[in-house]
Amino acid sequence: MHFLVGIYNLLVTVCFLLHFYQPSNQFAEIVRKVAHDCYVPLIKAIKDDKRIKLTANFPLSLLAQLDSYGFAWLIRDVKELVAAGRIELVGSAAYHPILTKVPMDFVEKQIVLNEMALGYYFGSTKDFEGEPCYMVKNVQGFFPPEMAVNSSLLAKLRELGYDWAAVDEYSLPKELVKPFKGGVCYMPDGIKLRLIVRNRELTNMISFKRDLDQSQITAEILRGGTDKVIALDAETFGHHYRDGVELFESIVSDIYANGGTTSTLSAAYESAECRSIDSVRESTWSSDYETTYPLWENQANPINSLLWELFREVHAECWSRAISFGGQPVSSLWAGRIIIVI
């Protein structure tokens, strides 16, 4: 445990946004291993330390597999933490497509399908009048897969009723990015949607940490006395790094030992004043100034380009005709899933 009293303003709130995810076509043994190495001990750590409050994304692609492979009890543990206000759920896309790169009809279907999944696994099966439905309360924020955003997507999120979206600092106008310490609320002109910006430097410091000396991380968290947003893959803790859950526990202990606290994103920024910006740069959480999609549409990689060309052709073909499978109509929601998995 590291005490840094007297060096920094210690009134720091740290908001973790943990992205739990496995692709829908993942091998069963991999899902089970990730669950045993990461999800089970991480959820236990959160459950055991009653000080912890955080925000988490659980898309349908993962929830369905956990349910199928014997981890329904783990989903129930998460549901209890949600009910207790310890974990805040966010909206996302059911099968993790890059929402800025797919047609808008597909975007809405993916988001609505994921909302149904959150209601099914974490919410109620009846509405306020007792009618059957899948309903989950207090989902205010949105996690875009890979934090890929542009102005069209943000406008759609506001239309669907979301209050805020988590974004990377590279979505901001260039003059605001460096130096940038995150934890700031912005609002693009013409779109009444708050952007909560993660601290990329601090997030990457944790993501690529491979030892248990967290002193540098603690110092960066407390530096400047400003609130911090840390958004990363949940699998960082226990799967990408074997001792990651212990690292997470140590970081949280240091935050509280030095006078800080943890919070859900909605609670931390409920009344925050948002700075107005003219526009949003299309970006992901791995973008740089030269390349918007270095991992997903890198012009130097011909395979990337060919895969997107294939996607566009398949999407156009499916939506131009009545889709049927085994003589039965296939809903457009599930057709969307079929396309994205190809």
318 shares a domain with 286: no
What's the whole-model pTM score?
Answer: 0.89
304 shares a domain with 283: no
pLDDT by residue for the chain (342 residues), tens digit each? 554 444 444 589 999 999 999 999 999 999 999 999 999 999 999 999 999 999 999 999 999 999 999 999 999 999 999 999 999 999 999 999 999 999 998 899 999 999 999 999 999 877 778 787 778 888 999 999 999 999 999 999 999 999 999 999 999 988 887 655 555 899 999 999 999 999 999 999 999 988 888 889 999 998 888 899 999 999 999 999 999 999 999 999 999 999 999 999 999 999 888 999 999 999 999 998 888 999 888 888 889 889 989 988 888 888 776 455 454 544 444 444 433 332
**49 falls within a domain:** yes
C-alpha 291/C-alpha 272 separation (Å) is 32
Cα 225 to Cα 137, 241, 275, 333: the distances in Å are 32, 29, 19, 45
281 shares a domain with 156: yes
Is residue 226 within 8 Å of residue 197, measured between CB atoms?
no
**90 falls within a domain:** yes
Name the β-bridge partners of 329: 324
**88 falls within a domain:** yes
**38 falls within a domain:** yes
261 shares a domain with 190: yes
**60 falls within a domain:** yes
**7 falls within a domain:** no
337 shares a domain with 189: no
C-alpha 211/C-alpha 100 separation (Å) is 36
Task: For residue 114, give every residue at least 6 positions away whose Cβ sits within 8 Å of its Cβ, in sequence order, or none.
Answer: 59, 60, 91, 92, 93, 94
Range of the domain at 149: 13-290
Is residue 196 within 8 Å of residue 165, measured between CB atoms?
yes
Is residue 336 within 8 Å of residue 114, measured between CB atoms?
no
Is residue 117 within 8 Å of residue 94, measured between CB atoms?
yes
Q: How close are the terminal C-alpha atoms of the chain, in Å?
A: 47
For position 164, which CATH number holds?
A: 3.20.110.20
C-alpha 63/C-alpha 66 separation (Å) is 5
C-alpha 289/C-alpha 175 separation (Å) is 12
| C-alpha closest to that of 73 among 119, 27, 40 | 40
Q: Domain boundary residue among 271, 290, 309? A: 290
Is residue 251 within 8 Å of residue 51, measured between CB atoms?
no
Tokens of 293: 């999609």
C-alpha 80/C-alpha 47 separation (Å) is 9
Look at residue 181 in the predicted model and tell me its pLDDT.
Answer: 54
- Helix or strand or coil: residue 243? coil
- How many structural domains are present in the chain? 2
| C-alpha closest to that of 200 among 175, 228, 238 | 228
C-alpha 16/C-alpha 46 separation (Å) is 12
Is residue 151 within 8 Å of residue 191, measured between CB atoms?
yes
184 shares a domain with 333: no
113 shares a domain with 230: yes
C-alpha 264/C-alpha 278 separation (Å) is 27
- Helix or strand or coil: residue 36? helix
* Strand positions, DSSP E, 211-338: 228-233, 261-262, 275-277, 324-325, 328-329
**6 falls within a domain:** no
Tokens of 20: 């739990």
Tokens of 27: 């091998």
74 shares a domain with 180: yes
63 shares a domain with 90: yes
C-alpha 81/C-alpha 122 separation (Å) is 10
270 shares a domain with 309: no
80 shares a domain with 54: yes
Name the β-bridge partners of 230: 16
Look at residue 183 in the predicted model and tell me its pLDDT.
Answer: 55
313 shares a domain with 222: no
**4 falls within a domain:** no
Q: Domain boundary residue among 266, 290, 314? A: 290
Look at residue 10 in the predicted model and tell me its pLDDT.
Answer: 55
